[in-house]
Structure 1
Amino acid sequence: MAPSDPQKLLQYGLHLGHKKQKVHPKSRKFIHSIEKGVSIIDLFKTAELLDIAKDFIKKLGTENKVVLFVATKKVGRDTVTALCKEQNVFYMTNKWVGGLLTNYPEISKNIERMNQMREEQATEAWNKLIKHERVALEKKLNRIASIYDGVSQLKALPDALCILDIKKESNAVIEAERIGIPVVAVVDTNVDPDVVDYPIPANDDAVLSIKFLMEELIGSYVDGRKQGEKEVAKAAAKVAKVAAAAAKVPLVTPAS
């Protein structure tokens, strides 16, 4: 994996932080300077920490671990949703559901109900219902799906979260910390970067910056997943080869 280029990060506007008066004291270590009242992020530090985060996420993909991408802020939700759908990655972009991590057994019932309703709809069982009953069920399904669609196939707690804005997703960060789930996050200059495991200091308010960062992170995860699949296939082929060779060895009859 090639190291991130600070010059490229500059082109995508990752250096633009918040106004001086909104800067969090603990984010100052990532600030290069203040220009016209706006904090300018040190992109050499961004590049270093982005690469660390990408390596971590790629490793999770290689190990077939689950990463849940969380981005409910309006400026980023459509971009993240599209990227995650394209790569078949878990996401939550409408709103964070309180208790998703700390009360997963209960929250997962909503996901199961959504999947059950979809199955009923697909088998045309709903067509036997009175029109107003069917319309009511469709509205209910659409409402549930708008929240849980990105986790419809989630069977257990995720192994890590990747968050766009930890101020917006503060509840997700708190839940993850409470049960020991590591967090990768884009941290702008208005938040405490120390509350997450893998902070990436960068602009989290511009579509261009968000799209670049999420493409990098999701891409690393998918690359890791593909690498893991190849390793599993290679190991399976090796086992099959050994088994085939063993099957060809003639049995030796003991001498009488």
Structure 2
Amino acid sequence: MDKVRHPVSSVIALQSVPSPITISFSDYISDDLRTEDKFGFESLVTVSDMFNARLHLGHKIGTLNNNMKWAVYGERLGVCIFDLDTTRKHLIRALNFVAHVAMRAGLILFITTNRETIFSVEKVAEECGQYSHVRRWQEGTLTNTRQLFGASIRLPDAIIFMNTLTSLSVNHPAIIEAAKMTIPTVGVVDSNSDPAYLTYLIPANDDSPQSVEYLLRLVFFQIDKFLLYSTTVYIFL
């Protein structure tokens, strides 16, 4: 039988698809997260760009969370300074994961509680066809959907936390709910935050609009780029 693909809206012969975006089904299902930099992010993320975006600036040394000491290079004028080599390594790992989810047409939820970056987060989520939650979190949104919404709904395939603390300086409740529902999470974790229960953490400044904009641009680029592949998955009959 001829080899064909089945996109959402139509059936197109395999031979009619341009070769640069053609992937075989066996290659598609064998893509995994064991490759540290499968999509070549090493050249995309640089220490100089992260420094210019102020990712290295943490909170005052007195607020340092013991679970974040491993990511801190030192302190200057009483402020924690992140080791950007460590940040870069974890950022590339997180981007690799996001790219895999986007390539499989996964549903991604962006979350933030930072009022200065709410608009940016909502805008990026909308532009890449994903979702955002920037208001007060209702308990049970992920774990008790039937009672809250009256029916079972599709849960996110991944959640990206642009900051992990609420206004009360406690971990966002969605982190625990996601862990209970085995939803993988990506989180920007500042020096005063607790990285517990996050799947992929990015040790970096989560307060500065400049740093958040930089991270959002990177994430948007990956989602927008790999959404192309989500419509070119081939089923061989």
TM-score (norm 1): 0.70
Residues 168-218 of structure 1 deviation map (CA, whole Å, 9 limit, x = unaligned): 252010111112111100000001224311000110001010111122123
**Is 1:72 matched with 2:113?**
yes
2:100 to 41, 51, 59: 59
Contact 2:128-2:223 within 8 A present in 1 as well: no
Q: Secondary structure at the match of 2:202?
A: strand
> What amino acid does structure 2 have at the position aligned with 1:185?
G
1:14 to 44, 55, 67: 55
Residues 29-70 of structure 1 deviation map (CA, whole Å, 9 limit, x = unaligned): 000110010000011111111110011011011112211111
2:194 to 192, 201, 204: 192
Contact 1:18-1:38 within 8 A present in 2 as well: yes
Q: For structure 1, which runs of at least 5 residues remain unmatched after alignment?
A: 113-153, 240-256
**Is 1:46 matched with 2:46?**
no
1:98 to 126, 132, 139: 139
The corresponding residue for 1:180 is 182
- Work out the CA distance in 1 between the residues paired with 2:153 and 2:124: 21
**In percent, how many aligned pairs have the same letter?**
27
- Work out the CA distance in 1 between the residues paired with 2:49 and 2:67: 26
- Work out the CA distance in 2 between the residues paired with 1:227 and 1:6: 29
Q: Secondary structure at the match of 1:158?
A: coil
- Work out the CA distance in 1 between the residues paired with 2:140 and 2:201: 23
Contact 2:160-2:186 within 8 A present in 1 as well: yes
- Work out the CA distance in 2 between the residues paired with 1:11 and 1:107: 43
Q: Secondary structure at the match of 1:49?
A: helix
Contact 1:70-1:164 within 8 A present in 2 as well: yes
Contact 2:82-2:203 within 8 A present in 1 as well: yes
The corresponding residue for 1:216 is 218
Structure 2 matches for 1:113-192, cutoff 5 A?
155-168=153-166, 170-192=172-194
Change (3 A) 1:107 1:221: farther
The corresponding residue for 1:2 is 41
Contact 2:91-2:202 within 8 A present in 1 as well: yes
Q: For structure 2, which runs of at least 5 residues remain unmatched after alignment?
A: 1-39
The corresponding residue for 2:68 is 27
- Work out the CA distance in 1 between the residues paired with 2:149 and 2:228: 28
Q: Secondary structure at the match of 1:193?
A: coil
- Equivalenced residue count is 192
Q: Secondary structure at the match of 2:116?
A: helix
Q: Secondary structure at the match of 1:225?
A: helix
- Work out the CA distance in 1 between the residues paired with 2:217 and 2:147: 32
Structure 2 matches for 1:232-247, cutoff 5 A?
232=233, 235=234
- Work out the CA distance in 2 between the residues paired with 1:202 and 1:86: 24
Question: CA RMSD, aligned part only?
Answer: 1.9
Larger radius of gyration: 1
The corresponding residue for 2:207 is 205
> What amino acid does structure 2 have at the position aligned with 1:156?
R
